[in-house]
Structure 1
Amino acid sequence: MSADPNDTQAIYERQATEYDMRRSKALFEARWLARFTASLKPGDHVLDLGCGTGDPIARWFMAEGFDVTGVDFSAAMLNIAKERWPDGDWRKADMRDFELDQQFDGIIAWNSFFHLTADEQKGCITRMARHLHNGGMLMLTVGPRAGEVSGTVGSELVYHASLSPAGYATCLEENGLQLTGFLAEDPETQSHTVLMARKL
């Protein structure tokens, strides 16, 4: 049984508490987060796109002194983030059509971007490029190869998709972004595939 991409939002609404309980807070992502912020400075504005409950990614950025805006399409996930950080900038929006009317020094979509279909991902990269300052950084978790697979959120199957590495490089270039890092199934990040780029 394959997952339906149109079910993703409802799955996160139902599974928000379970997801948050199971989500590792050990910051196995720290090495990539440090690479991502190497050219940024405290006070710079980072967009956490698909921020979920804000823990641990947004939490790390806030602790490091960055100005963070968290965006997610799940009200249940955002409610958990708002309970933890009532003064945070948490916004309900869908990464497929978000328009924030501002630009950021960095955009991260960790464990969120890969829920979009391949065509939606291409559109989202265009939208993210518009929301980045020149010189701004982008980091995404993607798949190691082109195709569609199913993952799990709580007890439910959820849709994942990916372009090929070359497909991402081409799409980034078409939107004024340069690929600066790509590592498939990094063993230090629980086998996540990580892509990093800079806006030229």
Structure 2
Amino acid sequence: MFTPQGPSLRELARQALSSVEHGYDLLAPKFDHTPFRTPDSLLGAVRRALAEIGPFEHGLDLCCGTGAGMTVLREVCRRSVTGVDFSAGMLEVGRERAAVPHPSADGARDAYAPAVSWVRGDVHALPFRPVFDLVVSFGAFGHFLPRELDGVFAQAHSVLRPGGRFAFPLPAPATPRSSWYWAALGFDVAMRVRNALWRPPFVMYYRPFRLGLARRKLEQAGFTVELLALPEFGRRPDGSPRCRMVVATRK
């Protein structure tokens, strides 16, 4: 939930009536005090899962925002970590916070101390060659319409070395018995009404991004796809994981 240090209702309204890029520029100074930031519990689960299949040399955080996912990369990548985002405001906050010494999971300084860089760029046209062996993304796919995912996944594929991994967490969808289901449905409906009545649009629909869609689009982009359960979040009554990490490997 929002903390007292988070944005006011007026600030959220101003952001919601902006474009996606300008909206995040406005929200950046208080973003980490909102529920939109990826929870530490999820970051930790992904870090532990990546450590099992790593270590890696060069990592890229796609749509890095203020850098929550960069903390994961700094613990599993040995040589370099790069964050890319189109919001100058989010990148500025990320750079400032990255300047503070970052402790590793056991309280010590980073074991590998990789070089860290922040790049302003468009995920539809990434300014990189195929130099990464790990690409991650946290919470960004709701900002892309389903038809845009082909291009986004193709770009992730293009910056990976052969055999490189593209990994991201994907929680199981809430059921109609859950309050989260109705909250997400209400949010998506409100965003569609907003975009029908106001320009520029603010794309933020999290319900359409599902495992079946993601897997199909990844395979079409040239990846092989593996699913790893994140055991920290348990299982649903039907036995399926409450949260998975999708690991797509460039052939």
Using the size of structure 1 for normalisation, the TM-score is 0.76
- Report deviation, 1:69: 0.4
Higher strand share: 1
Q: Partner residue of 1:173?
A: 219
**Letter in structure 1 aligned against 2:42:** F
Q: Secondary structure at the match of 1:58?
A: helix
Q: Equivalents in 1 of 2:40, 2:19: separation in Å?
A: 29
Q: Is the 8 A contact 2:226 2:247 kept in 1?
A: yes
Q: Equivalents in 1 of 2:160, 2:223: separation in Å?
A: 10
Q: Is the 8 A contact 1:114 1:160 kept in 2?
A: yes
- Report deviation, 1:36: 2.8
Query: Is 1:14 matched with 2:23?
Result: no
Q: Equivalents in 2 of 1:20, 1:80: separation in Å?
A: 10
Q: Within 5 A, what are the aligned runs for 1:155-194?
A: 159-161=204-206, 162-181=208-227, 187=233, 194=245
Could you say if the C-alpha distance between residues 28 and 39 of structure 1 is closer, same or farther in structure 2, counting changes exceeding 3 Å?
closer
- Report deviation, 1:26: 3.1
Higher helix share: 2
Structure 1: where are the runs of 5+ without partners?
Answer: none
- Report deviation, 1:63: 3.8
Q: Partner residue of 1:80?
A: 93
Q: Equivalents in 2 of 1:116, 1:199: separation in Å?
A: 22
**Letter in structure 2 aligned against 1:99:** P
**Relative contact order: is structure 1 or structure 2 higher (C-alpha 8 Å, sep ≥ 6)?**
1
Could you say if the C-alpha distance between residues 37 and 116 of structure 1 is closer, same or farther in structure 2, counting changes exceeding 3 Å?
farther
Q: Within 5 A, what are the aligned runs for 1:92-111?
A: 92-111=120-139
Q: Equivalents in 2 of 1:77, 1:138: separation in Å?
A: 22
1:30-61: CA deviations, max 9, x gaps?
2222223432225x101001111113x21232
Q: Secondary structure at the match of 1:59?
A: helix
Q: 2:48 aligns with which of 34, 43, 52?
A: 34
Deviates further, 122-131 or 59-68: 59-68
1:52-94: CA deviations, max 9, x gaps?
1113x21232244532100011111100111123573100012
Q: Equivalents in 2 of 1:37, 1:91: separation in Å?
A: 25
**Letter in structure 1 aligned against 2:162:** N
1:104-159: CA deviations, max 9, x gaps?
111001111321111111210011111111221112355757xx96479xxxx861
Q: Is the 8 A contact 2:135 2:165 kept in 1?
A: yes
Query: Is 1:195 matched with 2:246?
Result: yes
Q: What number of residue pairs does the alignment pair up?
A: 186
Q: Secondary structure at the match of 2:42?
A: coil
Q: Equivalents in 1 of 2:39, 2:211: separation in Å?
A: 28
1:143-187: CA deviations, max 9, x gaps?
757xx96479xxxx8612534433322222222211111669x94
Could you say if the C-alpha distance between residues 192 and 71 of structure 1 is closer, same or farther in structure 2, counting changes exceeding 3 Å?
farther
- State the percentage of identical aligned residues: 22
Q: Is the 8 A contact 1:129 1:199 kept in 2?
A: yes
Q: Is the 8 A contact 2:141 2:209 kept in 1?
A: no
Could you say if the C-alpha distance between residues 64 and 85 of structure 1 is closer, same or farther in structure 2, counting changes exceeding 3 Å?
same
Could you say if the C-alpha distance between residues 192 and 95 of structure 1 is closer, same or farther in structure 2, counting changes exceeding 3 Å?
farther
